[in-house]
Structure 1
Amino acid sequence: MLLGGILHPEILRGLGQAGHGAKILIADGNYPLATRSSGNSVRVYLNLAPGKVTVPDVLEAIIGCTPIELAEVMTPDSGEEPSIFADFRRLLASSTTAMPVAGGPPDLAVLKRWDFYDAASAPDVALAVSTGEQRVYANILLTIGVRDPAS
């Protein structure tokens, strides 16, 4: 029995196979995970029902056990910032593992939709998680950082 914050075996497998510089995609319920994620990635479908499991739920669990050095998001063509970005910033700021070597959490790097799709389909994406998140543009691509030698 595991005592950590993540129990899902496929998520643990994806994280266990990843290292510094590998990426993790957490996608909303509208994201085409089968066609817009890397064939190298461990794909996990947590989209049980609309609104169950959410992107912030998965993000909180992952940043609780993985150092993050970069967080990229997809922005709408209108340029208007989706409300979920505030949730992302709050979670990253509260993380004790985000950017431990650089001394603070990453801000969100904004990518246009097709650039985000290209980044999420790259071979360095080790884990891709589909959620039941209903908010649009609620996708986040995390780059794994290095482990703080003091931890």
Structure 2
Amino acid sequence: MITGTIIHPDIVDHLARTGHGGRVLVSDAHWASSTRIGSHAHVVHLGLRPGLPTVPDVVAAVRDTVAIEQLVRMRPSPDAEPCLVQRATAELLTGVPIEMVEREQFYQLATGDDVALVVVTGDIRRFGNALLRVGVTTERS
């Protein structure tokens, strides 16, 4: 049996195959997962009910499973509420560089050929999507 943080077989399988520089999109429940995905992306729907699991829940589990070298987020629109989900996600990735991009650029990056996995959460908060670039592991002593 799997004893790591993530026990979902599809997620474990695709994280293991992603490799350095590959990307993982952890999306909110609003993501158009049937039309806005890259050609190599595998989609896993985790939404159980509105709000569960959250984007930060999944980002934390991914962080505990693979090295993350970058977080890309979508810049909220000027009329958006303060983005607590983005703050919570950033706090989980201390020391990881964060890039904030405009909506259309985020869509281009999130549908690129280097996106290996899309995990659709139940998070219904706006602008919660997190695009993670997988890093390299370090030697353990």
- SS at the partner of 2:83? coil
Runs of 4+ residues over 6 Å off in structure 1: none
CA distance in 2, matches of 1:142, 1:79: 26
CA distance in 2, matches of 1:63, 1:13: 15
Q: 1:107 aligns with which of 88, 97, 107?
A: 97
Q: TM-score, normalised by structure 1?
A: 0.87
**1:89 counterpart = 2:85:** no
**1:116 counterpart = 2:106:** yes
CA distance in 1, matches of 2:51, 2:85: 13
**Does the 8 Å CA contact 1:89/1:107 hold for their aligned counterparts?**
no
| Residue 97 of structure 1: aligned partner | none
| CA displacement at 1:149 relative to structure 2 | 2.0
Higher mean displacement: 131-140 or 75-84: 75-84
Alignment map for 1:58-77 (pairs within 5 Å) = 58-77=58-77
Unaligned runs of at least 5 residues, structure 1: 94-104
**Does the 8 Å CA contact 1:25/1:128 hold for their aligned counterparts?**
yes
Unaligned runs of at least 5 residues, structure 2: none
Aligned residue pairs: how many? 140
CA RMSD of aligned residues (A): 1.5
| CA displacement at 1:110 relative to structure 2 | 0.3
Q: TM-score, normalised by structure 2?
A: 0.93
